[in-house]
Structure 1
Amino acid sequence: MAGFSPALDPRGLLASKRWVVRPQRVADPGVRVFCFPHAGAGAAAFAPWATRVLPEAELCAIRLPGRENRIDEAPFEDLPSLINALEPAVAPLTDRPFAFVGHCSGSLVALELARRMRDKAGVLPVALFVSSIAGPRRRSSESIHLLPREAFFARVAQYGGIDASVLGDPEVMEVFEATLRADFRLVEEGGYVPAEPLDVPIVAVGGRSDPFVTFDDLAAWREETSAEFSLHHIDAGHFVLDQTMEKVVETTT
């Protein structure tokens, strides 16, 4: 069983408000579910699940710089810097059991944050849910963030998860392009750093029709845990956020 830290520093709680959105506060949650969005997405991607998780669970959606009400903040372009900023914002809310949920690139952010919290404070989530991305030891050599604009937007559209009205609005995309490219760069240039497997169950979810992530890619997440591992290969494409959240509910019931 993971340990938990009563990290209640008021300054940390203030920082948490910028980074962590809790759409439906729970007075005394039995578990907090931290959700890490895919490239270009914000906390709103998880908002519908605030009322679908268990009554005693509190959904905590991560909002990164460069989107939503943080659109004027520069996005992070490298993973270590992001983790350095994110860890003190999440730590104050780990005073009770918590789980990490990542979709696509958010899965790697969740993994690295779990590693950091283990190494720094001996605190671990009760489970790590990852979806639609290869295990970090099978990283792709693609550099999507360097594609010309038209090709870049076309590739982003293939992944799903970003409203067509946004992708089809040149003015919006001009503002949003830097954030999207930064998110892809963060993952693509963040080479794998060997580390001891987490003593945390990992649940991987992916679509059989996903043109970008194979069964073997998902299975590579097994190497990141010394605890239980399960893989759910479902009838879907790349965007399996809802199905992943369904597994969260099933697993934590």
Structure 2
Amino acid sequence: MTGDGLWLTRLTGDPAEPAIRLFAFPNAGAGPNVFTGLARRLPGWIDLWAVALPGREARFGEPPRTELAPLTAELADALLPHLSRPYALFGDCSGALLAFLVAHRVRELGGPAPVRLVVRAYPPPDIVNRTPRELLALESAEFWRRLVSQGRIPPEIAAIDDMREVFEPAFRADYRLLAQYEYRPMPPLNTAITSLPGPGDPDARRHAAGWAAHGKGDPHHREVGNGGRATDSPAALGAHLAQTLGDLAP
């Protein structure tokens, strides 16, 4: 594992000419290491980089960010030097919204479009998501109970008082980011958007169509893994990403 400045952590090897760079945006409260299992199961032609936000892992000593626009701008600036090769974006849960906004910011800066945006378990950006505000209104005990019941964090982590104390600031900061988001119409991205629904999501088809409208191409969705978080099924997720990106590699 190697770092690149503050914002990106490379989780795979250092191939001389990777066919595709994949930038992964973790779910709320998580850091780059949530993708280490995925990194071990990707083919060598995919160069995986994970987004490293303040307030977790190597950046634990920094205060978590709570302003969405400046965060999006800094992430786009961090990605730009690495876009000389074809690249894709993957956003897990709330990371989907951040990946989407960063793709738009890269376009505003004159950077190339990703070959694919893959989003998982998050509604399209024009659908109001009330969950962040609902979670922020909860006291700590109920906040953690809700995170566990929704599959957002393993119960063994939530059961440890010290762990809750460590992780709660980053979780709450990320939900503040999401709660302040307000949709504004933007031209569709020049890339197809694949939606990976959460387990048993009754809105899977509707959300896939909604996401597709913000890019180009037909709606596509597929449930990956055996339920829970996508990173709990790294082999299935890795296989799907390799299949999705394989036809796009130069």
> Do the two structures share a fold, i.e. TM-score over 0.5?
yes
**What letter matches 2:71 in structure 1?**
L
Q: What TM-score results when the alignment is normalised by the length of structure 2?
A: 0.87
The structure 2 residue matched to 1:83, chosen from 54, 72, 77, is: 72
Which residue of structure 2 aligns with residue 225 of structure 1? Answer: 215
Q: How many residue pairs end up in the alignment?
A: 239
Counterparts of 2:198 and 2:205, CA distance in 1: 9
1:29 maps to what in 2?
18
Secondary structure of the structure 1 residue equivalent to 2:221: strand
Q: Matched residues, percent identical?
A: 31
Tell whether the 8 Å contact from 2:7 to 2:51 is kept in structure 1 after alignment. Answer: yes
Match in the other structure for 2:244: 251
94, 100, 104: which is aligned to 1:105? 94
Q: Deviations over 1:1-33 (max 9, x none)?
A: xxxxxxxxxxxxxx9332111122222212101
CA distance in 1, matches of 2:116, 2:107: 13
Q: Kindly tell me: are residues 247 and 34 of structure 1, through their superposed partners in 2, closer, same or farther at Cα, counting changes over 3 Å?
A: same
Q: CA deviation at 1:42?
A: 0.9
CA–CA separation in structure 2 for the residues paired with 1:201 and 1:93 = 20
Contact 1:138 1:217 survives alignment (8 Å) = no
* Aligned residues: CA RMSD: 2.2
Preserved CA contact (<8 Å) 1:77 1:185: yes
Q: 1:73 offset after TM fit, Å?
A: 0.8
Q: Which amino acid aligns with 1:225?
A: G
1:195 is the counterpart of 2:186: yes
Show CA shifts across 1:65-119 (max 9, x none): 1111111111111321211221121111111110000100000010000001111
**SS, match of residue 32 in structure 1:** strand
1:145 paired residue among 105, 111, 136: 136
Q: Distance in 2 between matches of 1:233 and 1:58?
A: 23
| Pairing 1:158–2:146 present | no
Mark the runs of 5 or more structure 1 residues left unpaired by the alignment: 1-14
Cα pair 1:210 1:236 within 8 Å, conserved: no
Answer whether contact 1:207 1:235 (CA < 8 A) is retained: no
TM (norm. structure 1) is 0.86
Aligned-partner residue type, residue 174 of structure 1: E
Alignment of 1:46-195 (within 5 A): 46-142=35-131, 143=133, 144-195=135-186
Question: After TM superposition, what 4+ stretches of structure 1 lie above 6 angstroms from structure 2?
Answer: none
Q: C-alpha distance in 2, partners of 1:115/1:238?
A: 29
Letter of the 2:5 partner, please give it. Answer: K
Look up the SS of the partner of 1:250 in the other structure.
helix
Residue 6 of structure 2 corresponds to which residue in structure 1?
18
How many Å separate the matches in 2 of 1:160 and 1:88?
32
Q: Alpha carbons of 1:234 and 1:182: their partners in 2 closer, same or farther (altered >3 Å)?
A: same
Counterpart residue number, 1:12: none
2: CA distance between counterparts of 1:245 and 1:220? 24
Q: How far did 1:236 drift?
A: 4.7
User: Aligned letter for 2:54?
Assistant: P
Read off the aligned partner of 1:120 and give its amino acid letter: L
